[in-house]
Structure 1
Amino acid sequence: MIRSVVFDVGETLLKDDREWGAWADWLGVPLNTLSGLVGAVTAAGRNNSEAFQLIRPGFDLAVERQLREDAGVGERIEESDLYPDVRSTLEALQEAGYWLGIAGNQTVVSAKLLRQLGLPVDAIATSGEWDVAKPDPGFFQKVKEIAPGNPHEILYVGDHRDNDVVPARAAGLRSVLIRRGPLGYLWADDPIVRKSADWVIDSLAELPDLLAS
């Protein structure tokens, strides 16, 4: 039985269009150029931030994030960035009695912005706050520490094979891959995903019925 459901952020709860568009503008390249490079490095099993290095060798992500903040074009998360099924699904799961959490590879600033949305969840945390990022096992240890239940009673939902599904299973958690965003579509039918994930879904709205059954 599942007691807790923990959600990834980018392309699980939030559409990443705004943030990638902001980075493309900051780097002075078309969005499709940056998107193509991100897809290429990710499909090759590399961190998507390596795409920045291809455009600007020596790129320092932490430094550039601060420069964006200083220039007034830093991170933003608004209601319109949420996928349409997010709030209704969280409300349905909350009403059904599940403990709900959000935990992803985001900054401390992102955590603050997510909390300002007032989503119906019990906890929000980011890798920036925890000082450990997926797929490091330490990240999923943190998930197990905040979410009630034994590991097999905690479900982690994300769009990434190597950052979400595989390490969640290795940590003893249950997992779901959502088929949206570039990576969700890329890996939905991947043999490793099909072996590791409990479910592959097209919408978060499927979760209440899946868990109830």
Structure 2
Amino acid sequence: MIEAVVFDVGETLTDDQRYWGSWADWLGVPAHTLSALVGAVTAQGRDNADALRLARPGIDIAAEYAAREAAGRGERLDESDLYPDVRPALSELRALGFRVVIAGNQTRRAGELLRALELPADAVAVSGEWGVAKPAAAFFERVLALAGTAPERTVYVGDHPHNDVFPARAAGLRTAHIRRGPWGRLWADAPDVVTAADWRIDSLTELPSLLGDAPPGTAGLPLPGGGPNA
């Protein structure tokens, strides 16, 4: 049976609109311009930080991040950034006895902000604290150690195929692909995503009933009906 559910952060738990809007304000470019650049690099399969490099050629992202913090315009995260299904879904999963873990590619500061939200989770960790980021296999080794579960009894939930679904499956975890945000929607029906994801969902509130019926030891195998749940 499934024992732990691990969640990505950006566009899985949190809406990234504030994040990109704050960068647009800092760089002095219209929000829709930076949004379009994010879409363009997403479609090309590039790192989303490339959108910042296109908006300001030659940018030193780490230096600009530090400058924003020093100016009091740094990273922020509060209740308004959460998708509305987050607390209900995580609470129900915990009530059902699942171990709930949050682990994504975020800065140390984001990790602090996430913990301050006091989400119904057993553990919160970010790549900035671990010193290893998705899609590296070592990231998912850390995920399993934090969850304290075997890969086939652990589900990783995320929106990005190349950072979430594919590497989690390669590490032996079961996977749920959420169809929201630019990455989740762009590749929602791509054949390799359909094949790799054990479940495909539109809301986190679908997870409790889906995972309650998940048999043990079936990671990567076709689900009833010949494929992942739509």
For the aligned pair, the TM-score class normalised by the smaller chain equals over 0.9
Q: What residue number does 2:218 align with?
A: none
1:145 Cα offset (Å): 1.2
2:167 partner letter: P
Percent identical pairs in the alignment equals: 62
1:87 matches 2:93: no
With normalisation by structure 1, the TM-score equals 0.98
1:165 partner letter: V
1:54 matches 2:49: no
Number of aligned pairs? Answer: 213
Q: Specify the SS of the correspondent of 2:22.
A: helix
Map 1:154-193; keep pairs closer than 5 Å: 154-193=154-193
Unaligned runs of 5+ in 1: none
User: Structure 1 residues 132-141 or 109-118, which shifts more?
Assistant: 132-141
Map 1:37-116; keep pairs closer than 5 Å: 37-116=37-116
CA deviation map 1:53-91 (0-9, x unaligned): 112122122111111000101111111111000001111
Q: What residue number does 1:118 align with?
A: 118
| RMSD over equivalenced CA pairs, Å | 0.8
1:148 Cα offset (Å): 2.1
Query: 1:153 & 1:63 partners in 2: Cα distance?
Result: 41
1:166 Cα offset (Å): 0.3
With normalisation by structure 2, the TM-score equals 0.91
Query: 1:79 & 1:20 partners in 2: Cα distance?
Result: 17
Query: 1:127 & 1:63 partners in 2: Cα distance?
Result: 19
Q: Specify the SS of the correspondent of 1:134.
A: coil
2:78 partner letter: E
Unaligned runs of 5+ in 2: 214-230
Contact 2:13 2:82 in 1 (8 A): yes
2:73 partner letter: V
1:181 Cα offset (Å): 0.7
Query: 2:167 & 2:4 partners in 1: Cα distance?
Result: 17
1:202 matches 2:206: no
Contact 1:148 1:154 in 2 (8 A): no
